[in-house]
Amino acid sequence: MKHIFLFIGTLFLSSSSFAQSQDEAAVKTTINRMFEGMSKADSTLMKPLFAPGARLQTVQNKQGAVSVKEDPIAGFIASVGKAKAGALDERLSGMDIKIDGDLATAWTPYAFYFNGQQSHCGANAFTLVRIAGDWKIQNIIDTRRKCE
């Protein structure tokens, strides 16, 4: 009898681990597609990745005065569509994903290149929500600083 409970417990843990890894892969895919859209200057690729009411924010530190600037997602997507393909190159140095049910966060340190020249570095913090089975970006907040 103990063996049956152990077997059932193992199956349950295996299936929840499998679902978690599937969700992580889906979250990564959503984020990577956004960066693919940026690289290709393809706003049509990016639009469906965002949840209604999504937000784009940047933490600014000007001489010790910290503030948060917000830009409309629609403006961000439109500016990507106006860029030249290959001009916007955000290189991630990692992606740390946490998931609880239909909520996910991802921390992605990056270096940003514009027309082949390094522009700035920082980190993105993504919040994603699973809507109708698809992971949508609800919020991006980032930092921007000179690269070291």
Per-residue pLDDT reduced to its tens digit, 16-45: 555 668 999 999 999 999 999 999 999 999
When pLDDT is averaged across residues 116-144 and rounded to a whole number, the result is 98
CATH topology of domain 2-143: Nuclear Transport Factor 2; Chain: A, (3.10.450)
Per-residue pLDDT reduced to its tens digit, 70-120: 999 999 999 999 999 999 999 999 999 999 999 999 999 999 999 999 999
- Please give the pLDDT value at position 21: 84
When pLDDT is averaged across residues 60-68 and rounded to a whole number, the result is 93
- Please give the pLDDT value at position 11: 47
- Please give the pLDDT value at position 68: 97
When pLDDT is averaged across residues 49-53 and rounded to a whole number, the result is 97
Which sequence spans correspond to the domains of the chain?
2-143
Q: 6 falls in which pLDDT band (50, 70, 90)?
A: low
Model pTM score: 0.85
* Rounded-to-integer distance, Cα 125 and Cα 115, Å: 24
Pair type for strands 50-62 and 103-114: unpaired
